[in-house]
Structure 1
Amino acid sequence: MKEASLYEQLEMYRYSLGIAISDVTEEEANIIPKGFNNNIRWNVGHVLVSTDAMILTMAGFPSTLPEEWGQYFMRGTSPQNFTDETPTLAELQEASQEQMRKLRALVEGKLDTPLANPFELPKTTIYTSGDGLTFCMFHEGLHMGQIQGIRKLVK
């Protein structure tokens, strides 16, 4: 498989995410429907922060996002703890596109760069930026499903 194909696939997932949230209002993005733990805004932010960590910062590359975004969107966080400083959906949408532009420039040809601390998951371990990139495609699809489910309930 060519490395370019991996970036194209990730960009396709991110494009689909952009389409799914393009008509979601800030108010709708903040609703946590019954049966869900998070809202659309948290899911989008979580995808961005996770992608940044697993492909870039855990391997020593510079982040594409403000450092403080992790406190709102990393695993184990909750929209219940959002503040006035939490990025809006519009800010997340803008950062999403910017992240895709920067990510490829930062890691192209360097996907074998090891993570400082391998990330263990059930049945596998993420050792390199490339491993992180392929996992992020699955991860983004998982959260896209959550976003689509919430979207149906809030629109």
Structure 2
Amino acid sequence: MDYQFKLLRQSRQNLLRFTEQFTLEELNEVPEGFNNNIIWHMGHILVTQQLLCYKNAGVPCRISDEIINQFRKGTKPEALVPEEEVTFIRKRLTQTPSLLEEDFRNGLFGEYNEISTSFGNTISNIEEAVVFNNIHEGMHFGYLLALRRALTKTV
């Protein structure tokens, strides 16, 4: 699992570095042909990791229900995300990989409520959840690349 946690931390660093290039307006812009924006993807990545790894293991999430309900699967941007919330999301994206690894090493995750994903696989334990989460984050990074391309066409 060491490698999976290393990948998660690196993925988050790449995500945060990539998103630094955008203004608050650009983070919130939903380009034509898209359902979401960059900040939604950032929040969604944070929320999904918490739901996959904590909630499905019966462990309290380390973010609020308000944030979860704002960025969970099936949602879309309803309002502009203010700078303070962007800062909060960035901070939690930085912190949660290490917290997850620490909680994993401390044996916080026991039973896991098996789930089927829209990706077509089943997650049966925390180890599989961490691996799938890394795949999920990589997929969303691809969406961010597409959003960047769409944003640069509109500027």
TM tier, smaller: 0.7 to 0.9
Task: Work out the percentage of aligned pairs sharing the same amino acid.
Answer: 25
Select 1:98's aligned residue among 77, 95, 98: 95
Select 2:116's aligned residue among 114, 120, 139: 120
Letter in 2 for 1:30: N
Contact 2:28 2:81 in 1 (8 A): no
Contact 1:30 1:40 in 2 (8 A): yes
Moved more, 17-26 or 130-139: 17-26
Match of 2:145 in 1: 148
Supply the distance in 2 between the matched residues of 1:129 and 1:28 (Cα, whole angstroms): 35
Supply the distance in 2 between the matched residues of 1:33 and 1:86 (Cα, whole angstroms): 20
Tell me how far 1:26 sits from its aligned partner.
1.2
Match of 1:50 in 2: 48
Supply the distance in 2 between the matched residues of 1:123 and 1:23 (Cα, whole angstroms): 34
With the length of structure 1 as denominator, give the TM-score of the two structures.
0.86
Moved more, 84-93 or 96-105: 84-93
Match of 1:13 in 2: 11
Paired positions, count: 151
Structure 1: gaps (5+ residues): none
* Secondary structure at 1:13 match in 2: helix
With the length of structure 2 as denominator, give the TM-score of the two structures.
0.86
Root-mean-square deviation over aligned CA pairs: 2.2
Structure 1 pair 144/46, CA: closer, same or farther in 2 (3 Å)? same
Q: Which has the higher strand share?
A: 1
Supply the distance in 1 between the matched residues of 2:108 and 2:142 (Cα, whole angstroms): 27
